[in-house]
Structure 1
Amino acid sequence: MPFSLAQPAQHELVIKKSRFIACVEPVAGREAAQRRVAQLKAEHPDAAHVCWALLAGGQSAANDDGEPGGTAGRPMLEVLRHHDLQGVMASVVRYFGGVKLGAGGLVRAYTDAVAQALLTAKKIALIQTVQLACSVPYALEGWVRRELDLAQAQLQTVTHASVVSLLFALPETRAVALSERLSEGGRGQLLWLDAKEFAETHRDNAPHA
């Protein structure tokens, strides 16, 4: 199960006079991560490097910010991946102490700084949601809506044509039970639709009250 963080957490290491100030925090995507990096650089104008990594699905990224390639961003990203995190950014501000650490030393320093910060971070489970879509005769619309309310499903799109079609989302852990209830209660009149295709076709249809 993937996790995010409840709030930012920090840790500082000093290795051979270099300071490594690590922060791990929830960040939704690359644009937000880049804004955060700009903020860190403004807060630490004398720092030699502000390296960072973001684990956020298709927006994941790693940046060495001038350190030798593969010695900072990628190792930090691997730490986030090892902890099964999503939507989380790790950043490390480095103040150079005058002693070079070598590639291996840098990998260890950036890895340890982020790992230590995560030790104090509070993780929160990310509950996966799924989309489902179905169509029913008008006579069953009210019943379907009541079942969605009971399951705490979010009604996203409703269309009224020869039948009523509904697109909704709910936590994956409740999806199977709701599907079975709707299939059974629909008495053969409920038809399941391709949710992704339905969402793309009717993306401009807001649910009716």
Structure 2
Amino acid sequence: MTFDLFDAPPRAAREPIGPAAFVLPGFALPRVDALLDAIGDVAARAPFRHLVTPGGFTMSVALTNCGALGWTSDRRGYRYSAVDPDSGAPWPAMPEAFALLARDAAALAGFDGFAPDACLVNRYQPGSRLSLHQDRDERDHGAPIVSVSLGMPATFQFGGLARSDKTVRIPLVHGDVVVWGGVDRLRFHGVLPLKDAPHLLDARWGAQRINLTFRKAG
């Protein structure tokens, strides 16, 4: 699924990784400029932060949110909130560029009419990782998950409905989008520790990976 950056054959419009799960190679590339501007606007109003898990561990991935609801964590548990706990203000509105990308990617994967109300913006730096987990804090498990990779490459782990199920490792590069829903909606997934491999063709991203995860939470 990966190719040399400068000698890459065309990739399929969507590559199945499950019955209702797909990688959309390079789908976000035509929208990168608008996405980068929107990420800056969101972070200016709700800065990235490292949250604490209910077990007392500090997450290696920094995050912020936009949309009507934002995902957050502390010693009391994981949950969605309509306000940023750091400021007490509502999360920034979801940028139009975000909402359009999520809708279009979901439609290509067979999920028409997706209207996310939450976007978790994760910032990975070398060594950051995301342990295997399920996205089950949302009220609506009938809607898909849309995950957008920007910046440094990463290895996505996609497992089964039990944590002990075998996982597959899926290389993701700048502009790739992963969509999963339906029978695959509650599959365990994660990201292996990020290697120090800055984006070679666009210095604006530097030594980081930005991941946008769109959900219907409310």
Q: Normalising TM by the smaller chain, what interval?
A: under 0.3
Return the TM-score normalized by structure 1. Answer: 0.27
Rg comparison, structure with higher value: 1
Return the TM-score normalized by structure 2. Answer: 0.26
